[in-house]
A and B are shown apart, each in its own frame.
Chain A
Amino acid sequence: MSDETKAAIRTFIVENFLFGDESHALPPDLSLIDNDLIDSTGILELVGFLEERFGIQVADADIVPVNLDTIDRIAGFITRKQAV
């Protein structure tokens, strides 16, 4: 997984869920749910972004915290999907 991927995810989160607030540290292992950065509609926005930006298909069964709850996990998920 590349730093570029993580940076793109981070930018999306900052723009869409933090409304451009760069002051948030947002470490790559920070839980997006537990820190109230993302809600049930936010997850779907995130999925839409991943599909468009990284050219992957996200199945319903993929939408689980183990795949999508931190920047690290999202990046790992993208790598696995792209390898298929």
Chain B
Amino acid sequence: MCGIAGYHGRNIAPEQAAICLDRMVGALRHRGPDGEGMLIHGDTGLAHTRLSIVGLADGAQPMTTPDDALAVSFNGEIFNYVELRDELVARGHRFRTTSDTEVLLAAYAHKGLDCLADFNGDFAFALDDRRNRRLVLARDRIGVRPLFYTEQDGTLFFASEIGALLALPGMSAEIDPFALDQTFTLWCPIPPRTAFRAIRELPPGHVMIVENGHRTVRPWWQLSFPDRGDIRPDGRFGEQVEELRALLADATRIRLRADVPVGAYLSGGIDSSFIAALAAKTVTRGLRTFSLTFRSREHDESDWQRQMAATLDAEADSVECTTEAIAGHLPETMRHVENPILRTAPVPLHLLSARVRERGMKVVLTGEGADEIFAGYDLFREARVRRFCGRQPESARRPRLFQRLYPYLPGLKQQSPEYLARFFSFGSEALDDPLYSHRPRFRSTAAAKLFFSADLKDAIGDYDAAADLAARLPADFGRWHPLHQAQYLETAFLLPGYILSSQGDRVMMANAVEGRFPFLDHRVVSFAANLSPDAKLRGLREKHILKEAARGLVPDAIVDRAKQPYRAPDSESFAAPHTPAYLDAVLSPERLGQGGLFNVKAVGKLKEKVVKGQVSGFRDNAAFIGILSTELLRHAETTPSSQLLSSTGIS
């Protein structure tokens, strides 16, 4: 697990190339504090910062084949490298090291790009195929590991993080207005767009091939669901439960492969509890678990965490996350997140990975992904209720179901059915809208654009982020069941764009901690996609099959408890008397005016309301965190970049 970087192109002088690689490595050191390497050959330069987990003694990178035909800089893991290695040995291949990186090289040498389909793992790599004069950039199916790129004077630069590219001489850290519009509607940019105008992301499950000066980006894997008409009622549900349990056990087993100890995150919910229980069966020296606790009852799950840790006899560690800590650490978290965020949830996870590292560990398993692939989020239930209500818009009883969906939202309790109907806008929207499930979320988020400046609104014009997303959906999307359509939007878009990046890779690797996600094993993802909707969301019971598979390994009280979405205190963290000292500077009228992105006067009033502790609604919370994180991002990315420029004189 590491950081990778490099370039490809003829227009770069050798001394300039070395400077560029050096800067990118410098910006990626936190991802790989155990070693560094660079390799320049012909038109291509590769760099690597290493976090050693597999093949501690002989896995240094960039790595080349003995005949020098291939070189690779590889970030991530191929969890089935043991089996792939055996297969290659059986075919006569001789290995020099015990690392999965060498397996990658051998697999590519043997099969070319078809090797990707054999990999079960989370990875991003740059491979220099010298014999064919070809550069390959590739990213894992779901998008666990990041890869970004930019072009300067005809040279392609790529890196694990945006910060490494912004550290290049002459790069501008200008915020992309359309990316901001996308984030303030959809919660993240639509790839390949990123928050920065000059930077692009290689989308999950895609490869970029650069050959003879031509660049091709294409998918090598895509999430897919069966056609609605092909879904059969599940007559063999019991067998499917067993199958799922066996698959998850294997997905967890191969994710425990490491030459260092592996711990587990424990939230207190069923997903992480299930994974920790499966891991505890394999780990021989006792499992270590890591949890977040909060002082506010609405966020805290420590009772459940204690119960699960006691069940596993695990060595349990926890970090209490106060509102002061959230406000205090937001600037540092934004240095890693690299995209505006609308809630503070990444901050506690950044603090948690710091604790893992303090305890001398580098790898943790998490339950991330289960809510997407087994339909755990409230949004899936909400969409079902909206369709149910939409069929009888005049019903006064049906809208009451919304209060059952969101018992933790006090604002809904006192609402009349008429208002509930209006807030969830059923009846007014077309049932065949591809974004039907997500419309209320997109709409309530987009309301935060009220705070955009007139200039930003002009730059965006009549651009419609939701319509843009809808236009990029797969051709067969319309034939899928509505639940599968909603799952696709969460799994293919929001999971990599927000959950696995802002709440995942970026805040874990900030402290050189590798997250592993058994639910995102492609065998599990494919199994889940092919289940009938009813096996996942039965009535309003979410993750039905997963609950049945977990029973016996996880206490019934945890299996059957009401879902508590992971949330952290948002704008309340910034209320007096704990308002952080930096707030006035970052949101000062002068700075806001310089940035030109937000309405200075309106933001001033919003800030006032936040400091008084009077902001409670979704829109204003999202707007405040969104504006503050954008301004912190501008500050974090422009400061080091401009300093570098002035110190080297390169532009």
Residues of A within 8 A of B (CB): 15, 18-21, 33-34, 36-37, 39-45, 60-61, 63-66, 69
Contacts and interface: CB of A to CB of B under 8 A. Distances in A.
Nearest to A21: B602
A64 B419 contact: yes
Interface in B395-435: 409-412, 414-416, 418-419, 422-423
A20 B446 contact: no
Given A33-B423, A39-B444, A40-B423, A19 B415 contact: no
B553 to A, nearest CB: 38
A3 B598 CA distance: 33
Contact of A40 (B419, B443, B601, B606): B419
A19 B451 contact: yes
B617 to A, nearest CB: 4
Contact of B447 (A39, A64, A66): A39
B197 interface: no
The bracket for how many chain B residues form the interface is 20 to 34
27 contacts: A18-B602, A19-B450, A19-B451, A19-B599, A20-B602, A20-B605, A21-B450, A21-B602, A33-B422, A36-B446, A36-B447, A36-B450, A36-B619, A39-B617, A39-B619, A40-B415, A41-B410, A41-B411, A41-B616, A41-B617, A41-B618, A42-B619, A60-B414, A60-B416, A63-B419, A64-B416, A69-B422
B402 to A, nearest CB: 10
Nearest to A15: B605
Given A36-B444, A44-B411, A18 B450 contact: yes
Contacts of B601: 19-21
B419 A65 contact: yes
Contacts of A19: 450-451, 599, 601-603, 605-606
A36 B184 CA distance: 14
Contacts of B605: 15, 19-20
Nearest to A18: B450
Given A20-B602, A44-B414, 17 more contacts: A18-B450, A21-B601, A21-B602, A36-B443, A36-B447, A39-B617, A39-B619, A40-B415, A40-B419, A40-B423, A41-B617, A45-B617, A63-B414, A64-B419, A65-B418, A65-B422, A66-B418
Contacts of A66: 418
A66 B603 CA distance: 31
B418 A43 contact: no
Contacts of A33: 419, 422-423
A43 B619 contact: no
Nearest to A43: B419
A37 B448 CA distance: 10
Contacts of A21: 450, 599, 601-602
Contacts of A42: 617, 619
A69 B605 CA distance: 24
Contacts of A40: 409, 411-412, 415, 419, 423, 617
Contacts of B418: 64-66
Nearest to B616: A41
Contacts of B446: 36
A47 to B, nearest CB: 9
A63 B419 CA distance: 8
Interface of B, helix, strand, loop or mixed by DSSP: helix
A55 to B, nearest CB: 21
B39 to A, nearest CB: 53
Contacts of A45: 617
Nearest to B605: A19
B105 to A, nearest CB: 53
A70 B606 CA distance: 23
Contacts of B617: 39-42, 45
B450 A63 contact: no
Contacts, number: 71
A51 to B, nearest CB: 13
Nearest to A24: B450
A37 B446 CA distance: 11
A63 B451 contact: no
A59 to B, nearest CB: 10
A19 B598 CA distance: 12
Given A36-B446, A65-B422, A43 B415 contact: yes
A66 B416 CA distance: 11
Given A21-B450, A63-B416, A39 B423 contact: yes
Nearest to B422: A33
Contacts of A18: 450, 602
Nearest to B601: A20
A37 B415 CA distance: 17
Nearest to B409: A40
Contacts of B409: 40
Contacts of B618: 39, 41
A66 B423 CA distance: 14
A63 B416 CA distance: 6
Contacts of B619: 36, 39, 42
A18 B619 CA distance: 11
Contacts of B616: 41
B87 to A, nearest CB: 56
Interface string B433-457: 0000000000110110011000000
Contacts of B599: 19, 21
A34 B410 CA distance: 22
Most buried by A among B409, B416, B444: B416
A45 B619 CA distance: 14
A46 to B, nearest CB: 11
Contacts of B602: 18-21
Contacts of A20: 601-602, 605
Contacts of A61: 416
B394 to A, nearest CB: 14
A34 to B, nearest CB: 8
Nearest to A31: B422
A26 to B, nearest CB: 12
A40 B616 CA distance: 10
Nearest to B406: A40
Contacts of B450: 18-19, 21, 36
A36 B410 CA distance: 19
A23 to B, nearest CB: 8
A64 B414 CA distance: 11
A45 B609 CA distance: 13
